Amino acid sequence: MASFSLSRKASLALFFAAMTAVGLVTPAHRLIGVNQHMFLAANVLALNFCLGLGGQISLAQAAFAGMGAYASVLLHARFPGATLVIVPTVVLGVGLLAALVSRPMERLGEGFLAMATLCVSLVCVNVALTLEGVTGGAAGLMVERRLALPGVGELGGDRLTFFLFLLLLALGSYIFLALRDSRLGRALAACRDDRHAASSLGIDRPAVRAVSFGLGGGLSAAAGVVHGHYTGFISPEQFSLELSLKALLFLVIGGPGNLLRPILAALVLETAMGWLQFLGEARTLVNGLLLGAALLAGYWRVRR
């Protein structure tokens, strides 16, 4: 058991060392594409809290990321320079909101929860489209303020953003592992494996799962904040259903509950799909085939 946990730690260390190396070596203009994948990876990790720990599927991850981005950008426009206050408030607020949203949905089964959270996602996109006066509607919103820390200055640029995302991933991973090995994590695992048994053991299912849902929502919001200020332009399209679906796909490919595998799946497969730009119109088809193949490969590996 000890050697297993050591190898887990070693692989974690290896992963973050490799990512740091990638961040230091890759030329800055190349990191533009990589940062998109990092944003997705952060969302995959966020979803892992809901699905991997609590066994709850969620397609609202993009909505939480979008809420984080819009809230932070709008607040920064009004109170420039208050990053230290705004970002924690936004992350906490979205996390709380996610927890609240998840409570009444807790008793829904897998497929129905997927549909309900998908509708949350669509409602958010449509609300952002409707409130043109505040959010700019479909045309989007220019982001004028960067994240800024007193004493450090503005946090922008490709390389710095990459490390911000990496920091976010590291923080998320730490919380994930700490939570998984805690009493709360075991309660979550019980809910995931047999919810009726968990209830009869006295676990307050909605409350316990609201925690994991809220943590996932908060992490997505944090990723959204970083992403929104980095790209300099936000629109509902960036936080559309596609992002949620992709996060879920990569998590299922990597296996929910595993920490590194889904993140790696997201980074590697997204990079591979990025290389397929030259295919033009055939891209959707090839993406679908690639994802289907990854899903089937995972299934056959597990069976064997």
Partner 1 sequence: MLALYLAQIVNSGLALGAVYGLMALGFSLIYCASRLINFAQGELLLLGGLGIATLAGVMRLSPLVAVAAAALAGFLLGRALFATTLGLTLRASPLRQLMLTVAASLVFQGVAILAWGKNPLMPPRLLPLPDLRLGPLFFGRDTVTALALAFCAMAVLGVFLKYSRLGRALRATSQNAVAARLMGIDPVLCHALSFALAGALASLAALAVGPQTGLRYDMGLGLGLKGFAAATIGGYTSLPRVFLGGLALGLCEAALVLFLSGELKETATYALIIVLLVAAPAESEAERP
Which residues are near partner 1 by CB under 8 A? Answer: 51, 57, 104-105, 107-112, 114-116, 118-120, 122-123, 126-127, 129-130, 241, 245, 248-249, 252, 256, 281-289, 291-292, 295-296, 298-299, 303
To the nearest 10°, report the CA torsion of 127, 133, 138, 143: -110
Return the number of other C-beta atoms located less than 10 Å from residue 226's C-beta: 26
Least CB distance to partner 1 at residue 111 (A):
4
Q: Nearer Cβ to partner 1, position 82 or 241? A: 241
Q: Are 19 and 266 in contact (CB under 8 A)?
A: no
Least CB distance to partner 1 at residue 107 (A):
6
Q: Are 149 and 18 in contact (CB under 8 A)?
A: no
Q: Are 177 and 259 in contact (CB under 8 A)?
A: yes
Q: Nearer Cβ to partner 1, position 24 or 276? A: 276
Least CB distance to partner 1 at residue 118 (A):
7
Q: Nearer Cβ to partner 1, position 19 or 208? A: 208
Residue 148's SS3 state is strand
Unique residue bearing structure tokens 């992490």? 219
Least CB distance to partner 1 at residue 15 (A):
24
Q: Are 186 and 197 in contact (CB under 8 A)?
A: no
What values do phi and psi take at 148, rounded to 5? Answer: -140, 140
Q: Nearer Cβ to partner 1, position 35 or 117? A: 117
What values do phi and psi take at 201, rounded to 5? Answer: -85, 5
Beta bridge partners of 148: 154
What values do phi and psi take at 59, rounded to 5? Answer: -110, 20
Least CB distance to partner 1 at residue 98 (A):
14
Least CB distance to partner 1 at residue 102 (A):
11
What values do phi and psi take at 198, rounded to 5? Answer: -60, -45
Q: Nearer Cβ to partner 1, position 23 or 52? A: 52
Q: Nearer Cβ to partner 1, position 114 or 160? A: 114
